[in-house]
Every structure is written in structure tokens, then in C-alpha cells.
Amino acid sequence: MVTALLVDDHPLFRDGFASMLKHHRPDWTLRTANSGAEALEALDEGRPDLAIIDILLPDTDGFDAARAIGQRAPLVSRVMISGREDGAARLRSRDCGASAFISKAWPPERILEMLEHVLAGGVAFEPPPDAMAGKAITARQLEVLTLLADGHSNKAIERRMSIAPRTVRAHLTEIFHLLEVDGRVQAILKARQLGLIG
């Protein structure tokens, strides 16, 4: 028997998820939490086998919630879930220690297949369409790219990330190479087109 904890503040989605499990996996038990804080409280009431965490929560970033759950209960598998299907969400999901990323738009069979794969000890991060370059970009490079898109200079990126000037330049050179662009503006435009940044 599997116990899953769904961390999501949208009642309609929670109800739909519960209905899906009742229909397709009647032997599973579903517990729910509206926020990151509620999820941590739920862990004190008993460890689930799996935590399914929305990337947008009312009290905290879903990725931070996943990290906190991992620290409190390292044996609980974590899966990020979202209505957005973009490269940045996948990269950040992997970076926060989750075992998979699933989209709310996927059919029930696909969602359950991914969850069972994770329960069996697997990892599942499918690349989004048209994001082959995004697969090669690391979480650290994505951070540089996001700061770049927010209008930060190299100096500001150095300070924000506590890295040396040559490290910023190396990250930018690699980002330009991976995205097949010649400069900052083109990199930002291409990253947005690929869904790597918002």
C-alpha cells in the first residue's frame, strides 16, 4: 500500500488528483497539505512514501519546500508537479533533490507511470519539447541566465552568486555556446523561447 502526500493549494486540483487515485489506484492513500508548512506538519503525523509538490505554494517556493521535506524525511521520494512545462522548472526540480517532474496537463496513466517509476527508485525528468539545449544547461548556469535576464551586470552577478569574474565569464561563454547565440540579448531571447526562463 502506498501513501502519497499531495502539497498543493488548489482545491480543484487536489479533488481531481484524489479522484484519479481512487479510480486508478484504489489501494493508495492520499493525504494533502495546502502549503510547505502544512507539509512539514504532515510529516510529523507519519511518513508518506511519496510527496508530490506543486512548484508554486502560498507560503514558500515549492522547490524550497521540497528541500525542507528532504531534510526532515530523507527517505520520502519527492516529485515536483506544475501547470507549466518548461526547462527551468525541470532543472530546478532536479537541483532541489526531487526524483521527477510531472505536468498537471498529462493524462492520469502517464502521471501514475512516473509516480510508480519513482517509487521503484527511479528518476524521471523528460525534456520539454524544443528544449534540447536546455538539457545541457546546469542549474548554476540557469541562475546566471536568470540574473542576466533580470538586467544584472557581470559585477552584480559576481556579488549575487559569490563567484569570481572569470567564473561569470566562463558561465556566459558556455551558455552562449549551448544556446548557439552570440551575445547576452540573443541568449535571453533564446532562453525565453525554450522556456528556460520566464
With a CB cutoff of 8 Å and minimum separation 6, the contacts of 12 are none
pLDDT in tens, 4-41: 999 999 999 999 999 999 999 999 999 999 999 999 99
Above pLDDT 90, what percent of the chain?
63
pLDDT in tens, 100-133: 999 998 999 999 999 999 999 998 876 554 444 5
With a CB cutoff of 8 Å and minimum separation 6, the contacts of 46 are 3
With a CB cutoff of 8 Å and minimum separation 6, the contacts of 48 are 3, 4, 5, 31, 42, 76
Residue 6, SS3? strand
pLDDT in tens, 49-84: 999 999 999 998 899 999 999 999 999 999 999 987
| Residue with cell string 501513501 | 3
pLDDT in tens, 158-184: 999 999 999 999 999 988 888 888 889
What values do phi and psi take at 162, rounded to 5? 55, 50
CA distance 81 to 66: 11
Please determine, for residue 147, whether its predicted confidence score (pLDDT) is greater than 90.
yes
What structural domains does the chain harbor? 3-119 (3.40.50.2300), 132-194 (1.10.10.10)
Query: Rounded to whole angstroms, what are the CA distances from 186 to 76, 128, 151, 155, 166?
Result: 41, 21, 13, 20, 21
Residue 90 pLDDT: 80
> pTM of the full predicted structure?
0.68
